[in-house]
Structure 1
Amino acid sequence: MPTQQQRSDSTREALLAACRKLLLEQGPEATTLAAVLAETGLSKGALYHHFASKAELIAAIYKAESKGAIARALAQAEQAGATAPLVQLTTMCAAWLEEIRAPDVAAILLRIGPTALGLEEAQRIENANSLALFERQLARAAEAGEIGAIDQPLAARLVNALMTELAMASLRGRGQSLPDVRALILAVLKGMEGAG
């Protein structure tokens, strides 16, 4: 027999899955809490036990999608055997760009999340996942002597911005090839070494 925590987790997952499905099918404006409840067969009480609002539900979906895409990209970098911090970073970034080429992932991260949550909130959520990761990888690269003396927080923000722009370019031109993300990141970092 499932525990109370297992039932609660199952309810939360059902709400997230139903809302994600509706967001992808109908968009954020047409996705209502009533529609989510109809999709799941759950009560308002069950919904409000987990999420205070539609925005909170969408934020949870956005966070999960962001974390999932980054986790899959990290796993791909590890599978590729990347051990040096800078190689890990660039390999992970290239893998992340492939992750967001999946239509559902791109829709949630690049269109639905920013529209429903606002650009600032979507960026805050994304930064909590990606920017912190970039900062850690750049610190490791500096410790390993792979990069010179640079402003690491600025470098992390530049890499983060570069990845956002490449993601948007990828979405706009699905059939077109993108520049080599590894070369772009290395060029940004190399250029920062001389600017100090």
Structure 2
Amino acid sequence: MQRSRRGRTNRERTEATRAALVEAARTLFIENGYAETSTPQIVAKAKVTRGALYHHFTDKRDLFRTVLEQEAEAVATKIGAATSPAMSAKEALLAGSVAYLDAMAVPGRTRLLLIDGPAVLGSSEITAIDAAHAARTLQEGLEALVPGAGGRSITGPAVATLLSAAFDRAALAIEAGADPAEFRAAVLSLVERVIAPVAG
């Protein structure tokens, strides 16, 4: 019994250390950018040892990737929370589109996922992260429209990729100070036009 209690304590301590590193890294990556953030700065902010960092992560890049995966998962969770099985496929796709922009409005998220992410990890790796999260929800939303499409499909990867790029540009514009309501309306209009052949 004593060993089990100690095991839980050690596990909790390990999880807390990892969480502290990820949170400290996220803050510093947003404030300073990836290139200007050093591992000594991260461990100092997290209040852990340098050895603890390398116990959990291979290097700074590995830690950065973990930060991005958590951000991407948060975006997908926000999209999922905005939709429900009671919605039609069209309603869910439109609600998810707005939820994406709302999720990307979290301070620093656009820098992490849309600016530093591709620059540090490269297009293939960042695309894989996106495909497992927000891009997956978009693809699923498009695929849900197929049953009523009369044989016409708009679910090709190219369409999802192009819509995703439009969403990203809208998120960057909002981050830069553009009117969020204007870009939400523009995104909804774009989605409506793209799905019109199968949703009409």
After superposition, give the CA deviation of every residue in 1:159-186 in whole Å (9 maximum; x if it has no partner). Answer: 2222223223333343362143222112
CA contact (8 A) 2:76 2:137 kept: no
1-structure distance, mates of 2:172, 2:198: 24
1:191, CA displacement in angstroms?
Answer: 5.5
1:27, CA displacement in angstroms?
Answer: 1.6
Question: Aligned match of 1:23 in 25, 29, 34?
Answer: 29
CA contact (8 A) 2:82 2:99 kept: yes
Which residues of 2 match residues 57-76 of structure 1 at below 5 A? Answer: 57-76=63-82
After superposition, give the CA deviation of every residue in 1:103-153 in whole Å (9 maximum; x if it has no partner). Answer: 22222222232333234422321122122222222222223x267521413
Mark the CA change 1:146 to 1:98 in structure 2 (over 3 Å): closer, same or farther. farther
2-structure distance, mates of 1:116, 1:126: 15
After superposition, give the CA deviation of every residue in 1:70-95 in whole Å (9 maximum; x if it has no partner). Answer: 212321334xx961122111111112
SS in 1 for 2:108: helix
Report the counterpart of residue 150 of structure 1 in structure 2.
153
Mark the CA change 1:148 to 1:83 in structure 2 (over 3 Å): closer, same or farther. farther
Q: What letter is aligned with 2:165?
A: A
**Which consecutive residues of structure 1, in runs of 5 or more, have no partner in the other structure?**
none
CA contact (8 A) 2:75 2:100 kept: yes
Give every structure 1 segment of 4 or more consecutive aligned residues whose post-TM-superposition deviation is greater than 4 Å: none
1:40, CA displacement in angstroms?
Answer: 2.0
Mark the CA change 1:21 to 1:147 in structure 2 (over 3 Å): closer, same or farther. farther
Equivalent residues, number: 190
CA contact (8 A) 1:86 1:146 kept: no
1:99, CA displacement in angstroms?
Answer: 2.0
CA contact (8 A) 2:149 2:197 kept: no
Q: What letter is aligned with 1:57?
A: L
Answering whether residue 39 of structure 2 is matched by residue 39 of structure 1, we say no
Q: Aligned-pair RMSD on alpha carbons?
A: 2.5
Identity value in percent: 26
Question: Aligned match of 1:88 in 63, 69, 92?
Answer: 92
After superposition, give the CA deviation of every residue in 1:6-65 in whole Å (9 maximum; x if it has no partner). Answer: 222111101101111111222211211111111123223221121101111011101111
Give the structure-1-normalised TM-score. 0.83
Question: Aligned match of 1:55 in 55, 61, 71?
Answer: 61
**Which consecutive residues of structure 2, in runs of 5 or more, have no partner in the other structure?**
none
Report the counterpart of residue 136 of structure 1 in structure 2.
140
